[in-house]
Structure 1
C-alpha cells in the first residue's frame, strides 16, 4: 500500500513538473500545440525556432538546439504522437523535421549540418554546411543512432541500434550498420 502511494505521488509530481516546463518554454516562444510530456529537457536558445505537435513526449536529457539567427519557420519540427527517448540530441541550423508516430531511441544524434574541411582553416573556423534532414511518419529509430545532414528517412522505416545514417533511406525498409545499409524490405 505504501509503495502504491509513493508511486502515485511520484507520478503526480512528474506531471506537475512537465506542465511547468510546458508553460516555461511556451513563455520563451517555443510553439507547443497542446500539452507535451516533458521530462528534464534542455532548449538553450532560439526558442521561437522550435515547433512541437501534441500529443508528444520528450524524455529526460533530450536537447533541442537551434543555432544561428532566429528565422520565420521552425528549424526543429516534431510531429504528433512522437516519443523521443533519453539523452537524444537534435541539432539544427536549417531544418530538421520529425514526422508523426515516430519512436526515437535513447542517445541518438540528429543533425542537419556539419563543418567544412578547408585545409587552410583550423577546425573551429570552418564554415557551417547545412542541408535539411527529414524523418517520415511511423519511423522507428533504435538506440545510439546518428542521422547526418541532408538525410531523408521514408515512412515506416526502421533504423537499427548503433547505425550511422549518411544517405537517405526509402519507405518501408529496415537499415542497419555504419554506414546504414538496407537489409530488408518491409511488406
Structure 2
C-alpha cells in the first residue's frame, strides 16, 4: 500500500497558490495577443483563395507575401513564414499540410566571425504546386519549388526542388518514387 506523503493542508496551499498567482490571471491576455499576432493579424494581410481551411493555431509571418490557392488546408501548428522584405510563400490550390509543418522563405547567413542573427537574411521564394500533400512535421526551406501533385513524407526536410508527381521523404528529402 502506498504511503500518503501529501497532506490536505499542503494540497489546499498549492491550490490557493495557483489561484492567487497573477500569471494565471494574465495568461488569457498573453494568449489573445499571440493569437492576434500570429494568426488573425497576419491573416488579414494574406491573399487567400476560396474555401481555405486553417487550423486555429496556425502561424504566419509577413502575411503580405503569403498566397494560398483555393481549398488549401493547413493542419494544426503549421507555420508559413515569408521573408521580411521580398520572398514569397505561394501555395497552389487543393494542397494539404499535415499538423506541425514549417515553411520558411528566408535563411540567416552563416559567415564565421559574426553572430548569425546579425547577418542579413537570404530570402528566396517557396512555391508549392497544386494538389500536393505535405506530411506531418515536414520542413520546407527557402528557395524550394514543389511540383504539382507531389507528396512529401512525414518528418521530411525539403532542401531541394521536388518534381511534379514525385514522392519524396527523408532528411534531407529525396525522391523515392513517382506517383504514376
Q: Are 2:102 and 1:106 aligned?
A: no
Instruction: Give the direction of change, closer, same or farther, for the CA distance of 1:45–1:130 in structure 2 (3 Å limit).
Output: farther
Evaluate the alpha carbon distance shift between residue 186 and residue 46 of structure 1 in structure 2; reply closer, same or farther with a 3 A threshold.
closer
Cα 1:45–1:129, aligned 2, differ >3 Å: closer, same or farther? farther
| 8 Å CA contact retained: 2:103, 2:140 | yes
- Higher-Rg structure is 2
SS in 1 for 2:99: coil
CA distance in 1, matches of 2:43, 2:135: 27
Deviation at 1:165, TM superposition (A): 0.2
Per the normalisation by structure 2, the TM-score is: 0.74
| Aligned residue among 47, 65, 69 for 1:79 | 69
How far apart in 2 are the matches of 1:107 and 1:136? 20
Q: Are positions 1:167 and 2:160 aligned together?
A: yes
Question: What SS does the aligned partner of 2:117 have?
Answer: helix
Query: Are positions 1:183 and 2:176 aligned together?
Result: yes
Distance (Å, rounded) in 1 between the aligned partners of 2:77 and 2:144: 21
How much has 1:42 moved relative to structure 2? 2.9
Matches within 5 A, 1:1-187: 42-43=38-39, 49-66=45-62, 74-93=64-83, 94-187=87-180
How has the CA–CA distance of structure 1 residues 123 and 149 changed in structure 2, closer, same or farther, with 3 Å as cutoff?
A: same
Question: Structure 1: which 5+ residue stretches go unaligned?
Answer: 1-38, 68-73
Q: Equivalents in 2 of 1:110, 1:178: separation in Å?
A: 15
Structure with more of its chain in strand, by fraction: 1
Give the number of equivalent residue pairs: 143
Aligned in 2, Cα 1:123/1:170: closer, same or farther, shift over 3 Å? Answer: same
Residue 47 of structure 1: how far off its partner (Å): 6.0
- State the alpha-carbon separation in 1 of the partners of residues 45 and 65 from structure 2: 5
| Cα pair distance change 1:41/1:153, threshold 3 Å | farther
